[in-house]
Amino acid sequence: MEKIKGLIAAPFAPLSAKDEVMYDKIPEYYNFLEKNKVVGAFINGSTGEGVSLSQDEKRKITERWAELGKARKTVKVINLVGGTSYKECIENAQHSAEHGVDAIAILSPYYFKPSGARQLAEFCAKIAESVPEMPVYFYHIPVLTGCSVSMFDFLREASPMIPNLAGIKYTHEDFMDFLSCMNFENGRFDMLWGRDENLLSALVLGARGGVGSTFNYAAPLYYKLIDAFDQGDLVEARNLQQMSINMIMLLGKYGGIATGKAYMSYIGKECGKFRLPVKNMSNEMYEKFVLDVEGLDMKNLFSKL
């Protein structure tokens, strides 16, 4: 299982004004990511509103992305197959395998939560064994799942139990745990960093791949940050990370995750609104948002259409 290096974007679900998924927009979305040197697409996740989509919608989205990925082979496709019912996750995992997705990801159950690392590993093993030839990632995002199991403890349980476990999408701020996972079994697992605002800190620990929503609309910023780090220019790398933080702070100012789609509108890539219960900004708020974005002074660091 090859480790992924570079930026993996978490694509937004393109929704119409009538709240319908616009599947015909996915090919141009793929082209957009490819043009901005994004190496992967993590679909049906938090940014992709996977928990707000129907099974049928998620499967159709998977089929469109997988078709493009198989034909072009420039953007790897990782599909989040779900998290509360392992039976449903198995159905989605097998559907992903049938359509040629590059890898799947599993989310912790977030209603009935696992009591510890063993139970979490057993849940994931049920799904992973249904697609034995496919790389499987675990998606660690305790702020949304409420599952705070140490990922080091998870790897100790899961490593002998799940032969096709590829790694973890790590969306948390526990750098001690993250580094321990990086070093587990001589660095066997692919640890993908999931907090865009802390990417520089993860690079210091040895991360070479990341998954993020802001990689959709600001990939050039992060590639410039990575280049500065690789060249030993830490002053420039820190300045670029601060620019990332300033950009991300506007998400909090304007209501949260839906602000990501406002950024997409700003760069000319319309993806519609988020589904309820997520709050979207009004037209008046969007005008204020645009003024704040222009005040960031980073036009040349946004992704290009």
Q: Are 78 and 105 in contact (CB under 8 A)?
A: yes
ω into residue 277 within 30 of 0, thus cis? yes
Residues noted as catalytic: 139, 169
Q: Is the pLDDT of residue 1 over 80?
A: no
Q: Which domains does the chain have, with CATH numbers?
A: 6-233 (3.20.20.70)
The token pair at 217 is 């609309």
Radius of gyration of the chain (CA): 18
Termini Cα distance of the chain: 32
Q: For a pLDDT cut of 90, what percent of the chain falls above it? A: 98
* CB 62 within 8 Å of CB 101: yes
pLDDT reported for residue 82: 85
Confidence class for position 287, pLDDT limits 50, 70, 90 = very high
Helix (H, G, I), strand (E, B) or coil at 191: strand
Please compute the mean of the pLDDT values over residues 271-295 and round it to a whole number: 96
Tell me the pLDDT band of 83, cut-offs 50, 70 and 90. confident
pLDDT of residue 93: 98
